[in-house]
Amino acid sequence: MTAFTIGSATVTRVEEVLEPGFLPAFLFPGLDSAILDEHPQLKQPNFFHAESGKVISSIHGWLVRLGGKTILIDTCSGNGKARALPLLRRFNMLSFPFMENLAAAGVQPEDVDLVICTHLHVDHVGWNTRAKDGRFVPTFPKARYLFGRAEYEHWTDGPGPSLFPENVPVIEDSVLPVVEAGMVDFIDAGDTIMPGLTVEAVPGHTATQLAVKCEMPDGAFICTADVLHQPLQIYHPELNSCFCEDGEAARTTRLRVLEYCADSGALLLPMHFGPPHAGHVVRDGDGYRFEPARPS
């Protein structure tokens, strides 16, 4: 199990799946595939599956232990959820050992104090709920679930459903049951979750996506939601994924996050990078390069 120690915090990756995900030209429309050859690091097996030509995609949550609290950032895709529409077929009726992996990290469902969802896409909210007696109920019985207020409104009273109709069933089975159970606290960009832990707006992928930032005297990290899908985007921040709602905003946000990581030394914790799944952003000429982190 991959874990990192940053100051007084430990962050453990809880895997749902690690597999060849998308063809790069699908994930990054307009990609010149010669870009991959410019950086040999990107063609290593931890980031690229040569046989299929697909980039390696991880889906995981980050389990943060900080100040005596157990915090799960993003809950992957979940098991047994119908995702019949073609774009989301990869997520249809899954049966992955996410909860077993959480247990292997020493955490039972009732141990989780906070669940934070960076945004409400299919692969970030699934284990918010699980099937019980024919319906979906909250998975973590003692947790408070923190959803961005603006992100929630984006999907329930905003343009989300028309921009990404495939995600509507996700809201219905993995978001609304938790809201209806009274277990959600809505949060806003700039809020402090607990000492050292804040959320900030990282618009683009969704208009209202949040990053989770931890700044302590002895270290910092940032969970970047889907500002970055692949290490390739550190070398080419202009590349948006096909799932980004607002391309211009996504580029501006990506540059700001890369600059923050390079200037502060904060550990970058993305949601979809291949092993070791986290790293540092280092200035290189006019741009940046990726230095994979060493797990503790």
Nearer to Zn ion, 65 or 243 (CB): 243
Interface of this chain with Zn ion, residues 218 to 257, rule: CB under 5 A:
226
Whether the bond between 295 and the residue before it is cis, its omega within 30 degrees of 0, is no
Interface of this chain with Zn ion, residues 61 to 80, rule: CB under 5 A:
none
Smallest separation (angstroms) from Zn ion to the CB of 228 = 10
Q: Which stretch, 84-92, 118-126, 134-142, 210-218, contacts Zn ion (CB under 5 A)?
A: 118-126
Structure tokens at 150: 């603006």
Please tell me whether residue 16 binds Zn ion under the rule CB under 5 A: no
Nearer to Zn ion, 196 or 274 (CB): 274
Smallest separation (angstroms) from Zn ion to the CB of 106 = 25
Nearer to Zn ion, 16 or 123 (CB): 123
Nearer to Zn ion, 126 or 292 (CB): 126
Whether the bond between 276 and the residue before it is cis, its omega within 30 degrees of 0, is yes
- Nearest-angstrom CA–CA distance, 85 and 90: 10
Please tell me whether residue 123 binds Zn ion under the rule CB under 5 A: yes
For residue 58, what are the β-bridge partners?
18
72 within 8 A of 140, measured Cβ to Cβ: yes
Smallest separation (angstroms) from Zn ion to the CB of 172 = 19
Smallest separation (angstroms) from Zn ion to the CB of 57 = 9
Q: Which stretch, 20-28, 117-125, 140-148, 215-223, contacts Zn ion (CB under 5 A)?
A: 117-125
Give, in order, the Cα–Cα distances in Å from 226 to each of 58, 99, 103, 199, 212. 12, 22, 26, 14, 12
Nearer to Zn ion, 66 or 223 (CB): 223
Smallest separation (angstroms) from Zn ion to the CB of 124 = 6
Nearer to Zn ion, 12 or 230 (CB): 230
62 within 8 A of 70, measured Cβ to Cβ: no
Tell me how many degrees the CA angle 60-65-69 measures, rounded to the nearest 5. 120
Smallest separation (angstroms) from Zn ion to the CB of 110 = 27
For 149, residues 6+ apart whose C-beta sits below 8 A from its C-beta are: 186, 187, 188
Dihedral (C-alpha) 241, 12, 234, 224: value to the nearest 10 degrees?
A: 60
Binding-site ranges for Zn ion (CB under 5 A): 123, 226
